[in-house]
Amino acid sequence: MNTIGVVYICTGRYRMFWENFISSAERFFLPSCLKRYFVFTDSLNLRDPRCCVISQKKLGWPYDTLMRFEMISRSKGLLSEMDFLFFVNANMLFESEVNREILPGSSENHLVGVQHPGYYKQTCAAFPYERNPNSAAYIAAGEGETYYQGCLFGGRSEEFLHLCEVLQRRVQQDLNNGLIATWHDESHLNRFFISAAPLTLNPGYAYPEAVRIPFEKKIVQLDKARFGGHAFLRSFENPAKTNSVGAQTKSLARALRRLWSSLG
């Protein structure tokens, strides 16, 4: 039986998606395989034998997404024990059964990517590739046939971890040169897939909740607008401020009680 590692990053407010995500994955994602969830988080305290919790502080936008290859590479020792590894965005839900069609065969590249649902009808000229030749994610005009979304990628563990290590170095190279690719980690992923063509999943494996597309719903991307929007989800929480407000409220309540007592 193949072992499947699910890589899931949920720092800050993204923790709100976890319970529904794992419920859907347990029901629909490779149900005949043994799965283990590698959860990178700063707040979830999971006591679940299916999960390996990896401490990861929130980095802020866009680094929470840009640095995911570095996060994954740091845990190579743990992740390499799996036969296959899949990164899945926090706001995704498995809608119907996803079986072994998602696993690359021995004759393929051993990697998996998903075609972006916003560009499946577009030509490569319309793809939002990184066009700055100074970036390690640069893709020249005329290159590429598919635009991949960064919300889901995977493959055999050795090839998956190799991809993450290579892209970690390229992201750092850009940062050292004062650059951030147009679509962050997604830009680097597309550059890698130009020369290492993956098994390509159709957009139904990244089906946008708020849009209708002509594919079977396999994995749905929840509309972040329903959960406060991008800015809310990406922003830092401020426990100190929250605690301060709470303390002020309690202090005011005590003062009011004293006032009411004196009036009585």
At 127-139, the pLDDT tens digits run 999 999 999 999 9
Q: 232 lies in a domain?
A: no
Angular region, 157: left φ>0, alpha ψ -120 to 50, beta rest? alpha
Distance CA 153, CA 112 (A): 5
Q: 244 falls in which pLDDT band (50, 70, 90)?
A: very low
In CATH, what number is assigned to the domain containing residue 104? 3.90.550.10
Residues in the chain: 264
Place of tokens 């992740």: 79
**Whether pLDDT at 250 is above 60:** no
234 against 256, higher pLDDT: 234
Q: 99 lies in a domain?
A: yes
Domain residue limits at 23: 3-227
**E strand or H helix at 229:** helix 229-234
CA dist list (Å): 143 to 109, 149, 150: 19, 17, 19
Q: 74 lies in a domain?
A: yes
What's the pTM value of the predicted model, to 2 decimals? 0.88
**Whether pLDDT at 13 is above 80:** yes
Question: How many domains, in total, are found in the chain?
Answer: 1
pLDDT in tens, 17-40: 999 999 999 999 999 999 999 999
Q: 132 lies in a domain?
A: yes
Q: 236 lies in a domain?
A: no
- The pLDDT of 57-85, averaged and rounded, is 97
Q: Give the active site residues.
A: 186
Distance CA 194, CA 175 (A): 22
Q: 233 lies in a domain?
A: no
Q: 254 lies in a domain?
A: no
pLDDT in tens, 158-173: 999 999 999 999 999 9
- The pLDDT of 88-95, averaged and rounded, is 98
